[in-house]
Structure 1
Amino acid sequence: MNVSDHIKEIEHVADGRNTGRDAVVLESWRRCLDTYQLDPAKAREAVIVSDTRLREHRQRSGDLVHIARSALEALYRQVAEQNYVLLLSDRQGVTVEFLGDPSFNNNLRKAGLYLGSEWSEPRAGTCAVGACIATGEALTIHQTDHFDVTHTPLSCTAAPIYDTQGALAAVLDISLLSSPILKTSQNMARHLVSSTVRRIELANLMASSRHDLVLRFASAPEFLDVDPEAALSVDGAGRITGMTHGAARFLAASRGLDWRKPDELLGQRVEAFFEADLDELASHTRSSLPQERRIVVKGGTILYAHAIEPQQTRSTVPLARSKPEATVSRIGESGPAIQNLQRKVKRLAPSKLPILLQGETGTGKEHLARIIHDLSGLSGRFVTINCAAIPEQLIESELFGYLPGAFTGALPKGRKGLVEEADGGTLFLDEIGDMPLVAQNRLLRVLAEGEVLPVGGSTPQKVDFRVISASHRPLRDMVLTGDFREDLYYRLNTAVMTLPPLREREDFLWLLERTLEKHSVPGRLLSLSDAARLTLAHHRWPGNIRELDNAIAFAAALCDDGFITVDDLPEHLVFASTTPVADERELDLRTLLAACDGNVSEAARRLGIDRTTLHRRMRRLGIGKPH
């Protein structure tokens, strides 16, 4: 469409005609014409605000940017190869965060896809960010959907980010300088942006609701613990104190209310929206299977709930709390490595010695740390800090807390740090190898002096806790390269425990059975065909126990009547198997051994593996050497 045709179409809309474009585009065009008095024939250059104004906008959005940063970077990694640019705009439409290919900076800045660009409708006409601010909805403004002719080469997809009180806080946008003609080409972009926004809102709610019960919801139990669709926070009296946008929508729908009026939702008791009281909702912790955490929303909608206890529980909140069985048998069943771990845990758990857990990602380091805490006899809490997940700019305030007014955007009452919340209990530092050196310095001082100094404070506070740290990275090597402080390393590694990767564990069969039990539900116990069991035994499990858990969860959702066959397993497991997946007889190791007259070497040759590997698999499957 050339410029004159584009202007004519906008004029037709001004005359009240429907040109067939999406309703959201037509409504935006009318706002540009009637409310903002914009001239479609007058080209409007992209606006980049001054450095002073940009600093002001970024300071006001500081907390949200910090919380959102890891999610933004993850989204950009997904779309960068398709030449997308990522913009995070504040509620005024000013871009306060930008991710894009530096080699295109000149073109991006000229197009307004740059840090400090202003994309409000009064300034830029119809655009994704501006229309998103006006409507509060996720949308795509594709090429000639734009009001201004200077923006018609662009394709922009945006979704709103709401704060915990239901107010629009920001807009996340990914844009292309050029794209395919069809608008439907951006459907996946819209899905990715909306999913990222959902995760940012959840992280924001969790960060601001540390003293309230948090309820997370999903429409399917399989995704409840891994990718919830909505969440809300509840105080000790059962009143709603915060919510994500997804929660605002389903709460409003349950009572026929308007989600755009959050005051009608906040402060209300949960019984007004659910066919359940606070006690029942609070009981839906991970101690029960996701399928058992079924709740009914007023109006009949079925959801599944996950209750997360306050990080500092108030006595008025009657939370259900399951006490795990304090026994080393939860570590594993057999094998020299596991037995050695059990012996160490039994002896060291009651002491307060610092323990360093080493092992590949997904081997169960946090699970082991919790077992050590349960056996320690400590009365305090088990507080987890994922050192790799906290943005570097936030790590000091998260660990050590801050006083009121310590920095721009700080909460009026300040915040207690996670280290202080572990007082009397266990502080678990997961992925300690990813902690920045500056934070390592502060942590070393805390461990050495037993005191914590909040950001902006001058008076240290005494703390007493047991520290357990974990990393998949070799900390000793990092000390040699200068990436990890040597003095901190020696304060953390008084006792070192190494978790073996799943491919080397002789109790694989035991772990497999525990995983099947975990994903079973009453009346539907999971079981495996011989072929499926052998396929799982042959896999290398680069993701370790976490990958096994995901595979069984996937198969449980797909199988009929709880019986898992090879066809129900994730495809990558089947294709990666070292043994061809043909039928039950070919995959039955016992049959193969019998056909080889018990000759393990011959069976290994037929499988294309070495004899030692076959012996290990036989132990994992509980198959003794044939006589």
Structure 2
Amino acid sequence: MFSHSDHIREIERVGRGLPSSRDDMVVKSWRRCLEHHRLDPAQACEAYIVPETRLKEHRQQSEDLIAIARSGLEHLFRQVAGQNYVLLLSDRQGVTVEFLGDPLFNNSLRKAGLYLGSEWSEWRAGTCAVGACIETGEALTIHQSDHFDNTHTPLSCTAAPIYDIHGELSAVLDISLLSSPILKTSQNLALHLVTASARRIELANLMAQARHQWVLRFSRSPEFLDVDPEAAISIDGLGRIAGMTQGGAKILARSTGLDWRDPRLIIGEPVSRFLDLEIDDLPELTRRRPTQERLVFARDGNALFAHAIEPHSGVRAPGVSRAQIPPPLRRLGGDAPEIVALQAKAAKLARTALPILIQGETGTGKEYLARAIHEGSGLTGRFVAINCAAIPEQLIESELFGYLPGAFTGASAKGRKGLIEQADGGTLFLDEIGDMPLALQSRLLRVLAEREVLPVGGTVPRPVQIRIVSASHRPLQTLVSQGAFREDLYYRLNAATLSVPPLRDRRDFDWVVEQMLERHSHAAGQRTLSPAALVALKAHDWPGNIRELDNAIAVAAALAEACVIDVSDLPDYLVARAEPDDADDAGTALRLMLDACNWNISEAARRLGLDRSTVHRQVRRFHLKPHR
């Protein structure tokens, strides 16, 4: 007969390192509860239901996943109908954001925590299926006295992880019973069903987010390839891994001996690194060929049947390999997919005569991109830049169009060639074009239409051949609707538009920092950043973008006494919230990042380049809490 006191003593023996007949993952969870979460097995803890306002926040953050998972949950619930199972979908914090159960048992289910809004994180509930699944990333069953807390020992819970397309734990699907047979093996079917449902939810999520990319689905059996694949990956237009299900991650990682739990080693890598195929081979794996002939080989020799699904809209990322991108464009960013896509698009446009409009916040590097486009264009003329917002309105006309001798009071006796004419045979870059006066917009429109320029005071136009690249931090379409910018000029300038992301959204932030450190190290000696200093940089919103970051790095490199730049070397406004005596402490740096992200764990993890579960563990380790 089960005894609470015997259960407590068993946990205490495990805590002392004594052997146990429990599954290894149960033993490890008990030890985490004792050593890391500091839980007391003798102190019963009733199920915790988060307040309604918090539940609403959790459900809002998970609404896309809930919508995708709902049909899968309902299908699973029908499969176990009549067996008194309850289905829980928990987010990565362990909070139940969706629930399916028999309403006749609502009171009992709520009391047991098998209900909407229940929190099953390991640090709060002890060893449980959801919490252990979040910690291990594996499907598992926590059966009756496997639970750490005596309150939960009547339950039998089976859970499987749901990963997002970037290989990070996104949610947990749990199927539980208020009471069950004594043998743990009675839940083997439940483990199979919940694992299969989680796999199908991951696949549905991948398909929803990869509409404009190739999707490659895998199966070991040709009969199930098109109806119930085991794994899938998505591939961008450059042939790189853009997304994957958990099964896809394991196939790719195993093929080259990598750890599937570290998606950074996989995402963004060429598919040819893992499989014996190139992007041009994918059309041969569509349904146009018999299933038995669609066989691919992984680099470890593993053979799989594959089904390639073409991009839905036919719109693909530019089909340019990184080696084909001109060096000036490659130097503008790291390997983040959105940056490489921008470089590839710019590389294709550079060789055309199309006018290009670059949109982006102040300081994002719009002029650098314009110069790189010119350098990759093959044009022999000059790159001439003019900031339309920096030249007095009364001088813009003469600056742009030039003037004849004696055209106006103070004019040079020799006259002057305007910037447009100086750019003949090359590129004219019009920065902050949105600030150009309306009267001059009409004259610029004539230049673009007629390919000739009329100097101030002149009567005979001069032919010019120029490539126009313009830029603005203001949305030109809005200025057009407000009557502040000519619509006909707008359509002349933005035959193609390139959008430069703000620094706070760039996934190659570390690469940008490294380039700046290298540049400023020449004057001050080789410099590197301490981990805490890097976190402090990532916690800032960078309204001035790359220009602001460059200034911050320059200051820090000059002030650093040693080769390692610490938090205290950074400009004061970057560390204003840090305590003076612990500015280089990892916990303080993490708190700075969380405060900057309004305690949005997902956003903080994205900026730090970490898995969300890692951030959660660090929060608990340093006992961090939001400021009230």
TM-score (norm 1): 0.50
Partner of 1:89: 90
Partner of 2:12: 11
Is the counterpart of residue 194 in structure 1 residue 227 in structure 2?
no
Which letter maps to 2:310? E
Which digits, 9 at most, give the CA deviation of each residue in 1:395-454, with x for residues without a partner? xxxxxxxxxxxxxxxxxxxxxxxxxxxxxxxxxxxxxxxxxxxxxxxxxxxxxxxxxxxx
Is the counterpart of residue 40 in structure 1 residue 41 in structure 2?
yes
Partner of 2:110: 109
Say whether the 8 Å CA contact 1:14–1:30 is kept in structure 2: yes
Say whether the 8 Å CA contact 1:87–1:97 is kept in structure 2: yes
Partner of 2:179: 178
Q: Matches of 2:316 and 2:195 in 1, distance apart?
A: 37
Q: Matches of 1:29 and 1:273 in 2, distance apart?
A: 37
Counterparts of 1:103-502 in structure 2, within 5 Å, are 103-314=104-315
Root mean square deviation of aligned Cα:
1.2
Partner of 1:53: 54
Q: Matches of 2:78 and 2:238 in 1, distance apart?
A: 42
Q: What's the CA shift for 1:80?
A: 2.5
Partner of 2:603: none
Q: What's the CA shift for 1:279?
A: 1.8
Q: Which runs of 4+ in 1 moved over 2 A?
A: 314-318
Q: What's the CA shift for 1:278?
A: 1.6
Q: Matches of 2:245 and 2:277 in 1, distance apart?
A: 20
Is the counterpart of residue 69 in structure 1 residue 75 in structure 2?
no
Q: What's the CA shift for 1:316?
A: 6.3
Q: Matches of 1:126 and 1:80 in 2, distance apart?
A: 27
Say whether the 8 Å CA contact 2:166–2:243 is kept in structure 1: yes
Say whether the 8 Å CA contact 2:212–2:316 is kept in structure 1: no
Q: Matches of 1:107 and 1:224 in 2, distance apart?
A: 42
Question: Which SS does the other structure have where 2:300 is aligned?
Answer: coil
Q: What's the CA shift for 1:315?
A: 5.9
Q: Matches of 2:132 and 2:317 in 1, distance apart?
A: 44
Q: What's the CA shift for 1:19?
A: 1.2
Which digits, 9 at most, give the CA deviation of each residue in 1:560-579, with x for residues without a partner? xxxxxxxxxxxxxxxxxxxx
Q: Matches of 1:88 and 1:18 in 2, distance apart?
A: 34
Say whether the 8 Å CA contact 2:276–2:298 is kept in structure 1: yes
Which letter maps to 1:197? A
Q: What's the CA shift for 1:283?
A: 1.7
Say whether the 8 Å CA contact 1:281–1:305 is kept in structure 2: no
Question: Which SS does the other structure have where 1:172 is aligned?
Answer: strand
Say whether the 8 Å CA contact 1:95–1:117 is kept in structure 2: yes
TM-score (norm 2): 0.50
Q: Matches of 1:313 and 1:236 in 2, distance apart?
A: 11
Q: What's the CA shift for 1:314?
A: 3.1
Which digits, 9 at most, give the CA deviation of each residue in 1:7-56, with x for residues without a partner? 01001101101211000000000000000110000000000000000000
Question: Which SS does the other structure have where 2:286 is aligned?
Answer: coil
Q: Matches of 1:95 and 1:314 in 2, distance apart?
A: 38
Which letter maps to 1:66? A
Question: Which SS does the other structure have where 1:283 is aligned?
Answer: helix
Residues 316 and 143 (structure 1), Cα distance of their counterparts in 2 relative to 1, 3 Å cut: closer
Q: Matches of 1:316 and 1:105 in 2, distance apart?
A: 50
Q: What's the CA shift for 1:281?
A: 2.9
Partner of 1:601: none
Residues 315 and 164 (structure 1), Cα distance of their counterparts in 2 relative to 1, 3 Å cut: closer
Which digits, 9 at most, give the CA deviation of each residue in 1:579-607, with x for residues without a partner? xxxxxxxxxxxxxxxxxxxxxxxxxxxxx
Bigger CA radius of gyration: 2
Counting aligned pairs with the same residue, the percent is 67
Say whether the 8 Å CA contact 1:120–1:129 is kept in structure 2: yes
Question: Which SS does the other structure have where 1:222 is aligned?
Answer: coil
Which letter maps to 2:73? L
Which digits, 9 at most, give the CA deviation of each residue in 1:47-66, with x for residues without a partner? 00000000000000000000
Q: Matches of 1:166 and 1:282 in 2, distance apart?
A: 26
Q: Matches of 1:94 and 1:293 in 2, distance apart?
A: 42
Say whether the 8 Å CA contact 1:166–1:244 is kept in structure 2: yes
Residues 315 and 256 (structure 1), Cα distance of their counterparts in 2 relative to 1, 3 Å cut: closer
Counterparts of 1:533-572 in structure 2, within 5 Å, are none
Q: What's the CA shift for 1:282?
A: 3.3
Q: Matches of 1:23 and 1:98 in 2, distance apart?
A: 29
Question: Which SS does the other structure have where 1:82 is aligned?
Answer: coil
Q: Matches of 1:161 and 1:246 in 2, distance apart?
A: 11
Say whether the 8 Å CA contact 1:236–1:314 is kept in structure 2: no
Q: Matches of 2:81 and 2:17 in 1, distance apart?
A: 40
Q: Matches of 2:318 and 2:281 in 1, distance apart?
A: 12
Gaps of 5+ in 1: 319-458, 460-627
Q: Matches of 1:65 and 1:283 in 2, distance apart?
A: 35
Q: Matches of 2:21 and 2:216 in 1, distance apart?
A: 42
Say whether the 8 Å CA contact 1:235–1:317 is kept in structure 2: no
Q: What's the CA shift for 1:164?
A: 0.4
